[in-house]
Structure formats: structure tokens, C-alpha cells
């Protein structure tokens, strides 16, 4: 007899609490192998193909494409040990047996129903009284992603059959006690810190699930009236005051802040709120640097990119000014200086701006840096970056000159402490060897966290970078 196992959205790492279904790779009735990718999801970090840890027949899928699911929500169910799709589907059809009702979620669960309208039940017991889940251990790969394994599932108790979670059951009347359709502890904390009563919100998720975006929208609009507010918080913070409903302009279009763009919005807002940044800049004559690159590429071998040369200059400058390769731990009131340079760089894609990370940039040659920049840029444009490719950066190199602009005052990539900006390199009049000449000039800027250093350190870093750009031989003295 087939055993139906539930596969939930796993923890994808880096504190991610939800993911959006981009594309289903299997349909109900399909036979899946162990570790076969079954769905493509977009997190706040990257696009990820999620592999299924079980082998069998797909009996239900949870969530349509475009739906945002919290970590721990069901993705699909698989009939393990089923001989074929026909038997699996007939066994789960209404004509074969009365459909078991889904359980009402406990705190921390999800309470979702499959997108195809089917239902599910707890794992049946084996003939000898032992949980049937134990017999499925051989069907699991033993591999893991982050936070979940593919070994035998833990036996679960049967729950009382109750109707599915709906608006009538999820939202209590007149503030009475009752279950609130919230999965993420982050959502509950956000609401609590802003004095927002979740019982008075209608979630935009499936079955009325309250998402983080629902809470943030309510906070922004001041949608909660005084009568529905909770008492002041212990810290002294008060509830969000009521505000008049916003009046939509005719023809206005709302674009959800999801995925990459939503993550960028949250990260940039946090950076601007937490980091006291300052910016200094300088113009530099890049003629000799451009000539050096031309000579290196003319010598044959792998081509060296301009970004790779600038990265080599960056890592040499950070070796002289390690204060800028750090992060701030405000809980401990400490500056944490980091031993390795993991160099972040901005890459523009159709899905928005992403920031891949070159690991151990300080230990790489110009050739290795060129190859890694090319690999990560291609992966970013194709949507193949993994969460590990876009996390853990310690310093950012931002070449906004590719957009045809000279300068910028960028927002620091939290939790890093500094960012070097490089404008376009263009012919300009320049005093060279005491005479006016046309030279290749670039504007360099450094935006830094004023908590980790003062202007003297920042200025020294930027001046060293400019000296290496103007006279690449300066870099040789540090190698």
C-alpha cells in the first residue's frame, strides 16, 4: 500500500522566511525520483530549484505559480511505494474514499490546502502497529539542503478532522480569542513591535495567511484604528495612529515589492536607517591603467577585465586599511574586522539589481578575478545564482560607470562598512607633466560607515586607490 508523505518548503538559509513559487517542474500524477527538482522558487536572494527527497507519485501540489509560501509550508505530497500514477490518483480521488480533512494549524504551522483542491491525511500505521513512515526510510536519499533532511519522517499523531482554515474560523469577531493565520515568527514580532493587532488584518496569502507584506502595508498606511489597537508596548512604544485611507490616483499601478526587488528595498532601508554613512570622492587619471590592461591582454592568455584590475587595487587598499573590511555589532558594541575579503559587486539583471560575491578576492590573481566576475555575472543574468553566491560579502565594488554616469553616493550594502564606486572613464582635459593634455579620467568615490573609521582613514584608502589607478606600478610594491 502506498504511503503519502508531505514535503514542505525547506529552510533555504540566511534567515529567509518565505519564497515565491516561480514555476512548477512537476504535475499531479508525475513520477518523481529522489532529489529530482520539483519546483523553482524565488527567494529574497536568488532563484532556487528545490529537490524532492522522496521517490514516488505526486498526489498534490500546494500553491499556484506566483504564490508566496513561508518556510515550513507544504509544497507537495508524494505517494511512496505506489506502482504508478493511475493507482495513486485513484487512491486519492473522492470516488475511492472519503477525503480526509486538513488539520487546523498549530502555532508555527501553515494550514494550507493543495492548489489542486485535493486533501491529505496523516501517515497510516503499518500492519505491525509501527508507524508506516519507518518503511519509507529506504526511499529517501539522505541528502540535505539547509534545515531539512531526507531521512525517514518522524511519526505524526492523528489529528481531529476539522474544516479547512477560512476567514470565518481564522478571524475572530469583535476581537475575541481564536487562531490567527500567521506562520512566520518574524511577522508576529513585526506586528507586536508596531502595536498592530493581527486579528484585525486580512491576509493576502492563500487561505487568508497573513504575510509580512500585509503587516508592512498596514503599518505604512496607518490602517489600524485606535479602537483596534493593542496597549502600548513595554518599551514605551505606542500603537500606530490611525490615518485617513489613501486616495488612489486614477491610472496608478501598484508593483509588489517581492523577490529580489523586495529584498533590495528592505536591505537598503535598513542600511539607511542603521548606518551613519559619509562619502568622499576624487578624480583620477586612468590613462596608465587602461594602457597597462591593453598591454596585458596583448600578451596573450586569458583576458583581464577592468573590473578585475580595480578589484586587485581594492584588496591591496583594504590590506593597508583593514578598518573598512569590517562590520559593526551594535549588540556587543564592537567593530568586527574580518580576515578575508569577500568582494561584492553590483550586477543589473531583468529581475533587478543583485549583488554576487567573489569569495577570497584577496587571494586571487587578476586572471582568476576576471573569470569569477564573468561566471557570476552570467549566472545572475540567467537567474542561476544560489543563496551562497549572494551572501557573505565584506566590501562592495560598484562600477556604475557602465551606466554612463560619472559619480554617485550609493547606499552601503548592509552589513558591510564601505563601498568603492567607479564612474565612467572618459577623455577630459587634464594637467599632465605640467601641460594641459587630454587624458582618460575617472571619478572614484568611497561611501563608508563613519562608525568604523574617520575621514582620515577613508581619505587614505581612496587616495591609495587613486594612486594605483594613476600609476599601476604603485600596486607592485604591495604584492
pLDDT digits (tens, 9 = 90+) for 220-231: 766 434 434 444
Q: Quick one: pLDDT at residue 467? A: 96
> For 76-84, what is the mean pLDDT?
78
Of the two residues 263 and 60, the one the predictor is more confident about is 60
The pLDDT-based confidence of 256 (bands split at 50, 70, 90) is: confident
| Homologous superfamily in CATH for domain 170-242 | E3-binding domain (4.10.320.10)
The listed range with the strongest mean pLDDT (16-20, 169-173, 352-356) is 352-356
Which residues of the chain form CATH 2.40.50.100? 3-139
pLDDT at residue 228 in the model: 40
pLDDT digits (tens, 9 = 90+) for 180-224: 666 566 677 788 778 788 877 888 876 777 887 888 888 876 643
Q: State residue 114's pLDDT score.
A: 53
Task: pLDDT band for 261, please (50, 70, 90 cuts).
Answer: confident
Query: Average pLDDT of 26-36?
Result: 92
pLDDT score, position 232: 45
The confidence score (pLDDT) of residue 67 equals 86
Q: Rounded distance, CA 62 to CA 294, Å?
A: 55
Instruction: Choose from 17-31, 226-240, 356-370, 401-415 the range with maximum mean pLDDT.
Output: 356-370
Return the CATH number of the domain spanning residue range 3-139. 2.40.50.100
- What local confidence, expressed as pLDDT, does residue 214 receive? 82
Per-residue H/E/C for the chain: CCEEEEEECCCCCCCCCEEEEEEECCCCCCEECCCEEEEEEECCCCEEEEEECCCEEEEEECCCCCCEEECCCEEEEEEECCCCHHHHHHHCCCCCCCCCCCCCCCCCCCCCCCCCCCCCCCCCECCCCCEHHHHHHHHCCCCECCCCECCCCCCCCCCCCCCCCCHHHHCCHHHCCCCCCCCCHHHHHHHHHCCCCHHHCCCCCHHHCCCHHHHHHHHHHCCCCHHHCCCCCCCCCCCCCCCCCCCCCCCCCCCCCCHHHHHHHHHHHHHHHHCCEEEEEEEEECHHHHHHHHHHHHCCCCCCCHHHHHHHHHHHHHHHCHHHCEEEECCCCEEEECCCCCEEECEEECCEEECCEECCHHHCCHHHHHHHHHHHHHHHHHCCCCHHHHCCCCEEEECHHHHCCCCCCCCCCCCCCEEEEECCCEEEEEEECCEEEEEEEEEEEEEEECCCCCHHHHHHHHHHHHHHHHCCHHHHCCC
- Look at 177-181, 314-318, 402-406 and tell me which has the smallest mean pLDDT: 177-181
**86-95, 212-221, 365-374, 442-451: which range is least confident on average?**
86-95
Q: How confident is the model at residue 84 (pLDDT cuts 50, 70, 90)?
A: low
417-438 pLDDT, tens digit per residue, is: 999 999 999 999 999 999 999 9
How would residue 351 be classed by pLDDT, with cut points 50, 70 and 90? confident
pLDDT of residue 318: 97
Mean pLDDT in residue range 349-357: 84
| pLDDT at 192 (0 to 100) | 78
33 vs 46, more confident: 33
pLDDT at site 90 = 46
pLDDT > 70? residue 24: yes
Residue 134 banded pLDDT, cuts 50, 70, 90:
very low
Average pLDDT, the chain: 77
Q: Is the pLDDT of residue 48 over 70?
A: yes
* Percentage above 70 pLDDT, the chain: 70
User: What does the pLDDT average to over 463-473?
Assistant: 95
- Locate CATH 3.30.559.10 in the chain: 276-476
- What average pLDDT does this structure show over 469-479? 80
Q: Residue 366's pLDDT is what? A: 93
Phi, psi for residue 394 in degrees, rounded to 5: -120, -15
pLDDT at 70 over 80: yes
Contact predicate 164/207, CB 8 Å: yes
Confidence at 257, pLDDT banded by 50, 70, 90: confident
Tell whether domain 276-476 is in CATH 3.60.15.10. Answer: no
**pLDDT at residue 195, as a whole number:** 79
From-to residues of CATH 4.10.320.10 in the chain? 170-242
Q: Is 235 exposed, middle or buried (0-12, 13-18, 19+ CB in 10 A)?
A: exposed
Percent of the chain whose predicted confidence (pLDDT) is above 90: 42
The residue that leads in pLDDT, 225 or 455, is 455
Model pLDDT, residue 87? 47
The catalytic residue positions are 450
Amino acid at each position: 500500500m502506498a504511503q503519502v508523505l508531505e514535503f514542505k518548503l525547506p529552510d533555504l538559509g540566511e534567515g529567509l522566511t518565505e519564497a515565491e513559487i516561480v514555476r512548477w517542474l512537476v504535475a499531479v500524477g508525475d513520477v518523481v525520483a529522489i532529489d529530482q527538482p520539483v519546483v523553482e522558487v524565488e527567494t529574497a536572494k536568488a532563484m532556487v530549484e528545490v529537490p524532492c527527497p522522496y521517490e514516488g507519485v505526486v498526489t498534490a501540489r500546494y500553491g499556484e505559480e506566483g504564490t508566496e509560501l513561508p518556510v515550513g509550508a507544504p509544497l507537495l505530497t508524494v505517494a511512496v511505494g505506489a506502482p504508478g500514477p493511475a493507482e495513486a490518483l485513484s487512491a486519492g480521488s473522492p470516488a475511492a474514499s472519503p477525503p480526509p480533512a486538513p488539520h487546523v494549524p498549530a502555532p508555527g504551522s501553515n494550514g494550507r490546502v493543495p492548489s489542486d483542491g485535493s486533501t491529505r491525511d496523516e501517515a497510516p500505521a503499518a500492519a505491525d502497529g509501527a508507524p508506516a513512515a519507518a518503511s519509507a526510510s529506504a526511499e529517501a536519499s539522505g541528502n540535505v539542503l539547509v534545515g531539512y533532511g531526507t531521512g525517514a519522517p518522524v511519526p505524526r499523531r492523528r489529528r481531529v478532522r476539522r474544516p479547512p482554515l477560512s476567514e470565518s474560523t481564522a478571524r475572530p469577531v469583535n476581537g475575541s480569542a481564536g487562531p490567527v493565520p500567521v506562520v512566520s515568527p518574524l511577522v508576529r514580532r513585526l506586528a507586536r513591535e508596531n502595536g498592530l493587532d493581527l486579528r484585525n488584518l486580512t491576509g493576502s496569502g492563500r487561505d487568508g495567511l497573513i504575510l509580512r507584506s500585509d503587516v508592512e502595508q498596514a503599518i505604512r498606511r496607518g490602517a489600524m484604528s485606535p479602537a483596534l489597537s493593542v496597549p502600548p508596548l513595554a518599551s514605551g512604544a505606542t500603537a500606530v495612529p490611525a490615518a485617513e485611507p489613501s486616495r488612489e490616483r486614477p491610472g496608478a499601478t501598484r508593483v509588489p515589492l517581492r523577490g529580489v526587488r523586495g529584498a533590495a528595498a528592505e536591505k537598503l532601508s535598513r542600511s539607511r536607517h542603521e548606518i551613519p554613512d559619509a562619502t568622499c570622492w576624487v578624480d583620477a587619471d586612468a590613462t596608465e591603467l587602461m594602457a597597462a590592461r591593453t598591454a596585458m591582454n596583448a600578451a596573450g592568455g586569458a583576458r583581464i577585465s577592468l573590473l578585475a584590475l580595480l578589484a586587485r587595487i581594492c584588496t591591496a587598499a583594504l590590506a593597508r586599511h583593514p578598518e573598512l573590511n569590517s562590520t559593526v555589532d551594535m549588540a556587543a558594541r564592537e567593530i568586527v574586522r574580518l580576515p578575508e575579503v569577500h568582494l561584492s559587486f553590483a550586477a543589473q539583471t531583468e529581475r533587478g539589481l543583485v549583488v554576487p560575491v567573489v569569495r577570497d578576492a584577496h587571494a586571487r590573481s587578476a586572471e582568476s578575478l576576471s573569470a569569477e566576475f564573468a561566471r557570476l555575472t552570467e549566472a545572475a543574468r540567467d537567474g542561476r545564482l544560489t543563496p551562497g553566491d549572494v551572501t557573505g560579502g565584506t566590501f562592495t565594488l560598484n562600477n556604475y560607470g557602465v551606466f554612463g554616469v560619472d559619480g554617485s553616493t550609493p547606499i552601503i550594502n548592509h552589513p558591510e562598512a564601505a563601498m568603492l564606486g567607479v564612474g565612467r572613464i572618459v577623455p577630459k582635459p587634464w594637467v599632465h607633466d605640467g601641460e594641459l593634455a587630454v587624458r582618460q579620467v575617472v571619478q572614484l568615490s568611497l561611501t563608508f560607515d563613519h562608525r568604523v573609521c574617520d575621514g582620515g582613514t577613508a581619505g587614505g584608502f581612496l587616495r591609495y586607490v587613486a594612486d594605483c589607478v594613476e600609476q599601476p606600478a604603485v600596486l607592485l610594491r604591495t604584492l
